[in-house]
Amino acid sequence: MIGSRRPIRIGLSARIFHPEQDARGIRSKTLQVLEQSVAQWVMARGVLLLMVPSVVQDGILMRSNIRLRDYAENLDGLILQGGADVSPRAYGEEPLRPEWSGDPVRDAYELELLHEFMEARKPVLGICRGMQLINVALGGSLYQDLPTQCPGAVAHESEAYDGNAHAVAFAEKGQLTRWFGDATGGQVVSIHHQAVNRLGRDLVVEASSQDGVVEALRGTGRGFVFGVQWHPEFHQQAGLELLDCSPILEAFLAAARP
């Protein structure tokens, strides 16, 4: 925080875990959570981060008059975090395999949330699934499974999880080249098996991997809309030479600053 200026207020979309069959206790409840690393990455800049819960106006437990639009009106920006697959039905396809069905409940919540922030002209940053959701929201589609639908030389996920990294190259004369100065790309943490297929309207590619997979995209309409397929919140780990993604976060927060 700078002086007496109020902190930037950023909303973070929730990961949703649904009740498990025959479970007891907390596992029998709907859980909405955030991943600690992404929270710490953002809050290190003195940002007030608030997880935005899905809004159930006609819930079984109690009724709420709060709308997702209220969050868009009262917060300065939105980060869409990673997690479950986007359902292929969100872009007009049927799942090729049951395990690629995604989470339609989370899709509906985040698509509405994204729409409200874009309508309010508030900046949006999408991470991994978040980037894919931006693409789908703007009429694009996804590869349901990269290894089978778009096989390439790059491993976009592995058992190493956040230890899996590969190189990305920035688009020539793109926004990333301006934010990063002389850099033309770098190593990023990659944990995904879905990826952008058909690009959504008013979106341009900002980075790609050597096999052509879209690794970053930017909205060309009014307002700040940016997405990265990698996980910048995992880049502060020792032992890997990873791209310092501070310029992306700083640009997002500059757009959000009241």
Question: How many Cα atoms occupy the beta-carbon half-sphere of 201 within 13 Å?
Answer: 5
**Separation of alpha carbons 2 and 199, rounded Å:** 39
- The answer to whether residue 208 sits within a structural domain is yes
- The answer to whether residue 112 sits within a structural domain is yes
Examine the pLDDT at 245 and tell me if it is beyond 80: yes
**Average pLDDT score over the chain:** 91
- The answer to whether residue 177 sits within a structural domain is yes
- The answer to whether residue 197 sits within a structural domain is yes
Of 128, 206, 215, 235, the catalytic one is 128
pLDDT in tens, 24-50: 998 888 888 898 999 999 999 999 999
Residue 217 phi, psi (nearest 5): -145, 160
Examine the pLDDT at 134 and tell me if it is beyond 70: yes
- Residue 58 sits in a domain whose CATH number is 3.40.50.880
Number of domains in the chain: 1
- The answer to whether residue 3 sits within a structural domain is no
Of 156, 166, 192, 231, the catalytic one is 231
pLDDT at 174: 95
What average pLDDT does the segment 16-20 reach?
A: 86
Q: Which of 96, 95, 93, 126 is nearest to 111 (CA)?
A: 126
Cα torsion at 51, 56, 61, 65 (round to 10°)?
A: 90
pLDDT at 67: 86
- Please report, rounded to a whole number, the percentage of residues in the chain having pLDDT higher than 90: 78
Q: Which of 177, 81, 92 is nearest to 142 (CA)?
A: 92
- The answer to whether residue 17 sits within a structural domain is yes
How would residue 1 be classed by pLDDT, with cut points 50, 70 and 90? Answer: very low
Let me know if 233 is a catalytic residue: yes
What average pLDDT does the segment 155-176 reach?
A: 94
What is the number of helices (H) and of strands (E) in the chain?
Answer: 7, 13
Of 156, 233, 235, 245, the catalytic one is 233
What average pLDDT does the segment 98-103 reach?
A: 93
Range of the domain at 111: 9-256
Let me know if 128 is a catalytic residue: yes
Examine the pLDDT at 177 and tell me if it is beyond 80: yes
pLDDT at 233: 95
Which are the contacts of 126, defined by CB distance < 8 A and separation ≥ 6? 79, 80, 132, 133, 134, 225, 226, 227, 228
- The answer to whether residue 178 sits within a structural domain is yes
pLDDT in tens, 246-257: 999 999 999 999
- The answer to whether residue 1 sits within a structural domain is no
233 burial (CB, 10 Å; 0-12 / 13-18 / 19+) is buried
